[in-house]
Amino acid sequence: MKEKTPRAEEVRERLGRRPVVLIGLMGAGKTKTGMMLAQALDLPFADSDTEIERAAGMKVAEIFERFGEEHFRAGERRVIARLIGEGAGIVSTGGGAVMTPATADLIWTQAVSVWVRAEMPVMLERVMRSDRRPLLKNGDPEEILSALAAKRYPVYGKADIVVESHNGPAEAVLNQTIDKLHDFLAGRHGSGRHD
């Protein structure tokens, strides 16, 4: 196990039992950042899509195809409620999770929320590497992602902190996340926190 840095140590202590939940559009880098953060803070990591797939015994794309988005969102809410209920840990969520008001409510009230944000070309390049995302299958991915950004960014903007996930070294994104968490937990934050 890697030694925690003093800053990571402080973040870990100040979080107490509160989980950290990562939100943001598909391809923004939530899972990667979440896994690295979990390792740096020595906390368990979970990805809501992976947990939904495990519970349902099928892939997200198949759940959408067979049962529809509404069914998926209900399962997503249950899984996120369970993960948040487990206390200290890092949870990466699917891009649409906070668009379900009951799920968003849990995240805003019971977790420290981190919006992982990336530029459109970066997200596009990442999502084009796989075909596992049902919402991108029926049209031009750039148009779909742009429309989702327009609708979702005002909601993502309620997160406690925002992290810029560029294509540079992943370590830099991790350090930025730890620094911003550190400041937020110390009460030094100027973000547009929801009421």
**To the nearest whole angstrom, how small is the minimum distance from the Cβ of residue 170 to ligand S3P?**
17
**To the nearest whole angstrom, how small is the minimum distance from the Cβ of residue 187 to ligand S3P?**
30
Given the complex with ligand S3P, which of 17 and 129 has the nearer CB atom?
Answer: 129
For residue 163, which of 132, 189, 141 has the smallest C-alpha distance?
189
**To the nearest whole angstrom, how small is the minimum distance from the Cβ of residue 22 to ligand S3P?**
10
Given the complex with ligand S3P, which of 87 and 134 has the nearer CB atom?
Answer: 134
Within 8 A by CB and 6+ apart from 58, the residues are: 66
CB 97 within 8 A of CB 140: no
Cβ burial 98-134 (10 Å sphere, 16+ → b, else e)? bbbeebbebbbebbbbbbbbbeeebbbebbeeeeebb
Collapsed DSSP state (helix, strand, coil) of residue 40: helix
Q: How far apart are CA 7 and CA 102, in angstroms?
A: 33
Given the complex with ligand S3P, which of 129 and 188 has the nearer CB atom?
Answer: 129
Q: How far apart are CA 158 and CA 170, in angstroms?
A: 24
List residues near ligand S3P by CB under 6 A: 26, 49, 60, 94-96, 133-135
Collapsed DSSP state (helix, strand, coil) of residue 114: strand
Given the complex with ligand S3P, which of 133 and 180 has the nearer CB atom?
Answer: 133
Given the complex with ligand S3P, which of 104 and 185 has the nearer CB atom?
Answer: 104
**To the nearest whole angstrom, how small is the minimum distance from the Cβ of residue 142 to ligand S3P?**
15
Q: How many CB atoms lie under 10 A from the CB of residue 6?
A: 9
Given the complex with ligand S3P, which of 84 and 135 has the nearer CB atom?
Answer: 135
**To the nearest whole angstrom, how small is the minimum distance from the Cβ of residue 137 to ligand S3P?**
10
**To the nearest whole angstrom, how small is the minimum distance from the Cβ of residue 159 to ligand S3P?**
14
